[in-house]
Chain A
Amino acid sequence: AQSVTQLDSHVSVSEGTPVLLRCNYSSSYSPSLFWYVQHPNKGLQLLLKYTSAATLVKGINGFEAEFKKSETSFHLTKPSAHMSDAAEYFCVVSPLNDYKLSFGAGTTVTVRA
Protein backbone atom coordinates (compact mmCIF):
# COMPACT_ATOMS: atom_id res chain seq x y z
CA ALA A 1 0.00 0.00 0.00
CA GLN A 2 1.11 3.55 -0.54
CA SER A 3 0.10 6.91 0.84
CA VAL A 4 1.18 10.52 0.82
CA THR A 5 1.10 13.21 3.50
CA GLN A 6 1.41 16.83 2.51
CA LEU A 7 2.52 18.60 5.63
CA ASP A 8 1.05 22.02 4.84
CA SER A 9 -2.50 22.61 3.68
CA HIS A 10 -1.75 26.23 2.82
CA VAL A 11 1.46 28.12 2.05
CA SER A 12 1.64 31.87 1.54
CA VAL A 13 4.74 33.51 0.05
CA SER A 14 5.70 36.88 -1.33
CA GLU A 15 6.50 37.18 -5.02
CA GLY A 16 10.22 36.65 -5.61
CA THR A 17 10.78 34.58 -2.45
CA PRO A 18 11.40 30.83 -2.27
CA VAL A 19 8.61 28.28 -2.15
CA LEU A 20 8.81 25.02 -0.18
CA LEU A 21 6.03 22.42 -0.28
CA ARG A 22 6.61 19.41 1.95
CA CYS A 23 5.61 15.85 1.16
CA ASN A 24 6.24 12.57 2.97
CA TYR A 25 5.32 9.26 1.43
CA SER A 26 4.79 5.69 2.48
CA SER A 27 5.16 2.84 0.04
CA SER A 28 5.60 -0.90 0.23
CA TYR A 29 7.34 -0.88 -3.13
CA SER A 30 9.89 1.23 -4.94
CA PRO A 31 7.69 4.18 -5.72
CA SER A 32 7.20 6.60 -8.52
CA LEU A 33 6.61 10.08 -7.12
CA PHE A 34 5.04 13.05 -8.83
CA TRP A 35 4.06 16.63 -8.21
CA TYR A 36 1.00 17.92 -10.04
CA VAL A 37 -0.41 21.45 -10.08
CA GLN A 38 -4.05 22.42 -10.48
CA HIS A 39 -5.05 25.96 -11.33
CA PRO A 40 -8.64 27.01 -10.58
CA ASN A 41 -11.18 25.28 -12.80
CA LYS A 42 -8.44 23.46 -14.66
CA GLY A 43 -7.23 19.88 -14.83
CA LEU A 44 -4.01 18.60 -13.34
CA GLN A 45 -0.66 19.38 -14.92
CA LEU A 46 2.47 17.35 -14.23
CA LEU A 47 5.28 19.45 -12.76
CA LEU A 48 7.87 16.73 -12.32
CA LYS A 49 8.36 13.04 -11.63
CA TYR A 50 10.79 10.71 -9.86
CA THR A 51 11.10 7.15 -11.18
CA SER A 52 14.26 5.77 -9.51
CA ALA A 53 16.78 7.71 -11.58
CA ALA A 54 18.42 10.93 -10.28
CA THR A 55 17.27 11.90 -6.80
CA LEU A 56 17.16 15.61 -7.68
CA VAL A 57 14.43 16.09 -10.21
CA LYS A 58 13.94 19.23 -12.24
CA GLY A 59 10.52 20.09 -13.57
CA ILE A 60 8.73 22.78 -15.48
CA ASN A 61 8.46 26.45 -14.52
CA GLY A 62 11.57 26.38 -12.32
CA PHE A 63 10.33 23.78 -9.85
CA GLU A 64 12.48 20.97 -8.54
CA ALA A 65 12.15 18.22 -5.96
CA GLU A 66 14.55 15.98 -4.10
CA PHE A 67 13.85 12.34 -3.34
CA LYS A 68 15.22 11.36 0.08
CA LYS A 69 14.67 7.69 0.77
CA SER A 70 16.02 7.83 4.32
CA GLU A 71 13.49 10.52 5.19
CA THR A 72 10.73 9.19 2.89
CA SER A 73 10.31 12.73 1.62
CA PHE A 74 9.83 14.38 -1.75
CA HIS A 75 9.70 18.11 -1.08
CA LEU A 76 9.01 20.59 -3.89
CA THR A 77 10.91 23.86 -4.14
CA LYS A 78 11.18 26.91 -6.34
CA PRO A 79 13.76 29.62 -5.73
CA SER A 80 11.58 32.56 -6.69
CA ALA A 81 7.78 32.54 -6.63
CA HIS A 82 5.75 34.16 -9.39
CA MET A 83 2.16 35.32 -9.21
CA SER A 84 1.24 32.61 -11.72
CA ASP A 85 2.37 29.95 -9.20
CA ALA A 86 -0.77 30.53 -7.14
CA ALA A 87 -2.56 27.19 -7.40
CA GLU A 88 -3.10 23.89 -5.61
CA TYR A 89 -0.25 21.40 -5.61
CA PHE A 90 -0.56 17.65 -5.17
CA CYS A 91 2.13 15.18 -4.20
CA VAL A 92 1.38 11.77 -5.71
CA VAL A 93 2.80 8.27 -5.24
CA SER A 94 2.34 5.03 -7.12
CA PRO A 95 4.25 1.78 -7.38
CA LEU A 96 6.51 1.59 -10.39
CA ASN A 97 4.68 0.27 -13.46
CA ASP A 98 1.29 0.77 -11.83
CA TYR A 99 -1.41 3.15 -12.98
CA LYS A 100 -3.13 3.70 -9.66
CA LEU A 101 -2.08 7.08 -8.28
CA SER A 102 -2.48 7.96 -4.61
CA PHE A 103 -2.83 11.70 -4.04
CA GLY A 104 -1.98 13.83 -1.05
CA ALA A 105 -4.61 16.22 0.29
CA GLY A 106 -3.07 19.13 -1.57
CA THR A 107 -1.31 22.37 -0.64
CA THR A 108 -2.82 25.68 -1.67
CA VAL A 109 -0.20 28.26 -2.57
CA THR A 110 -0.96 31.95 -2.33
CA VAL A 111 1.50 34.47 -3.76
CA ARG A 112 1.46 38.01 -2.37
CA ALA A 113 2.49 40.93 -4.54
Chain B
Amino acid sequence: KAGVTQTPRYLIKTRGQQVTLSCSPISGHRSVSWYQQTPGQGLQFLFEYFSETQRNKGNFPGRFSGRQFSNSRSEMNVSTLELGDSALYLCASSSMGTSVNEQFFGPGTRLTVL
Protein backbone atom coordinates (compact mmCIF):
# COMPACT_ATOMS: atom_id res chain seq x y z
CA LYS B 1 0.00 0.00 0.00
CA ALA B 2 1.17 3.49 -0.75
CA GLY B 3 1.79 5.66 2.29
CA VAL B 4 0.37 9.04 3.15
CA THR B 5 1.28 11.59 0.52
CA GLN B 6 1.40 15.34 0.93
CA THR B 7 1.69 18.01 -1.71
CA PRO B 8 3.49 20.21 -2.22
CA ARG B 9 6.56 19.24 -0.20
CA TYR B 10 7.86 22.82 -0.04
CA LEU B 11 6.16 26.19 -0.25
CA ILE B 12 7.32 29.76 0.04
CA LYS B 13 4.72 32.47 0.58
CA THR B 14 4.68 36.06 1.75
CA ARG B 15 2.81 37.55 4.67
CA GLY B 16 -0.86 38.15 3.99
CA GLN B 17 -1.17 35.46 1.34
CA GLN B 18 -3.15 32.28 1.76
CA VAL B 19 -2.06 28.70 1.18
CA THR B 20 -3.67 25.32 0.62
CA LEU B 21 -1.96 22.07 1.49
CA SER B 22 -3.13 18.65 0.35
CA CYS B 23 -3.02 15.23 1.94
CA SER B 24 -3.92 11.84 0.47
CA PRO B 25 -4.36 9.17 3.16
CA ILE B 26 -3.49 5.52 2.94
CA SER B 27 -6.08 3.70 0.88
CA GLY B 28 -8.99 2.67 3.08
CA HIS B 29 -8.16 5.12 5.87
CA ARG B 30 -11.03 7.45 6.64
CA SER B 31 -9.57 9.61 9.38
CA VAL B 32 -7.12 12.38 8.54
CA SER B 33 -5.40 14.58 11.11
CA TRP B 34 -3.18 17.61 10.68
CA TYR B 35 -0.29 18.74 12.89
CA GLN B 36 1.99 21.75 12.91
CA GLN B 37 5.64 21.29 13.85
CA THR B 38 7.82 24.27 14.81
CA PRO B 39 11.10 24.47 16.73
CA GLY B 40 9.51 26.60 19.42
CA GLN B 41 6.14 24.92 19.95
CA GLY B 42 6.95 21.38 18.86
CA LEU B 43 4.20 19.25 17.38
CA GLN B 44 0.69 20.57 17.85
CA PHE B 45 -2.63 19.11 16.80
CA LEU B 46 -4.61 21.22 14.33
CA PHE B 47 -7.72 19.20 13.50
CA GLU B 48 -9.05 15.79 12.58
CA TYR B 49 -11.60 14.79 9.92
CA PHE B 50 -13.60 11.64 9.50
CA SER B 51 -16.14 11.07 6.73
CA GLU B 52 -15.95 14.72 5.66
CA THR B 53 -16.72 15.96 9.19
CA GLN B 54 -14.37 17.75 11.54
CA ARG B 55 -14.44 15.78 14.78
CA ASN B 56 -11.64 17.41 16.73
CA LYS B 57 -9.96 20.77 16.67
CA GLY B 58 -6.85 22.10 18.39
CA ASN B 59 -6.17 25.58 19.72
CA PHE B 60 -5.43 27.44 16.52
CA PRO B 61 -7.01 30.65 15.21
CA GLY B 62 -9.77 30.59 12.66
CA ARG B 63 -7.26 31.40 9.91
CA PHE B 64 -6.51 27.68 9.93
CA SER B 65 -9.22 25.61 8.32
CA GLY B 66 -9.58 22.28 6.63
CA ARG B 67 -11.89 20.00 4.80
CA GLN B 68 -12.16 16.40 3.74
CA PHE B 69 -13.55 15.06 0.51
CA SER B 70 -15.63 11.96 -0.11
CA ASN B 71 -12.52 10.02 -1.17
CA SER B 72 -10.95 10.88 2.24
CA ARG B 73 -8.39 13.24 0.75
CA SER B 74 -7.99 16.32 2.87
CA GLU B 75 -6.88 19.89 2.44
CA MET B 76 -5.91 22.49 4.97
CA ASN B 77 -5.97 26.20 4.31
CA VAL B 78 -4.21 29.02 6.08
CA SER B 79 -5.40 32.52 5.26
CA THR B 80 -3.64 35.82 5.92
CA LEU B 81 -0.30 34.17 6.52
CA GLU B 82 1.93 35.38 9.34
CA LEU B 83 5.65 34.85 9.81
CA GLY B 84 4.88 32.52 12.71
CA ASP B 85 3.02 30.16 10.41
CA SER B 86 6.35 28.98 9.01
CA ALA B 87 6.42 25.33 9.97
CA LEU B 88 6.38 21.74 8.86
CA TYR B 89 2.75 20.67 8.42
CA LEU B 90 2.21 16.97 8.88
CA CYS B 91 -0.78 14.95 7.86
CA ALA B 92 -1.62 11.59 9.39
CA SER B 93 -4.21 8.99 8.50
CA SER B 94 -5.82 6.25 10.51
CA SER B 95 -8.13 3.33 9.87
CA MET B 96 -10.95 2.10 12.07
CA GLY B 97 -9.23 -1.21 12.73
CA THR B 98 -8.09 -2.67 16.05
CA SER B 99 -5.64 0.15 16.71
CA VAL B 100 -8.14 2.89 16.30
CA ASN B 101 -5.83 5.75 17.11
CA GLU B 102 -2.61 4.52 15.51
CA GLN B 103 -1.71 7.15 12.96
CA PHE B 104 0.51 6.99 9.91
CA PHE B 105 2.28 10.20 8.98
CA GLY B 106 3.20 11.70 5.65
CA PRO B 107 6.53 13.41 4.94
CA GLY B 108 5.09 16.85 5.56
CA THR B 109 4.87 20.15 3.73
CA ARG B 110 7.52 22.70 4.67
CA LEU B 111 5.92 26.17 4.59
CA THR B 112 8.12 29.24 4.72
CA VAL B 113 6.46 32.63 5.14
CA LEU B 114 8.57 35.66 4.20
Q: Mark B101-112, 1 if CB is under 8 A from A, else 0.
A: 111111110000
Interface footprint category on B = 20 to 34
Interface footprint category on A = 20 to 34
A32–B101 touching, CB < 8 Å? yes
B43 is contacted by which of A45, A51, A96, A103 (Cβ under 8 Å)?
A103
A100–B45 touching, CB < 8 Å? yes
B45 is contacted by which of A42, A49, A101, A106 (Cβ under 8 Å)?
A101
- Confirm or deny: A77 has a beta carbon within 8 angstroms of a beta carbon on chain B: no
Q: Which residues of A contact B (CB under 8 A)?
A: 32, 34, 36, 42-46, 49, 51, 90, 94, 96-106
Given A96-B101, A98-B56, A106-B43, 14 additional A-B pairs, CB 8 A: A43-B106, A43-B108, A45-B105, A51-B99, A90-B43, A94-B101, A99-B55, A99-B94, A100-B45, A100-B48, A100-B58, A101-B33, A101-B92, A106-B42
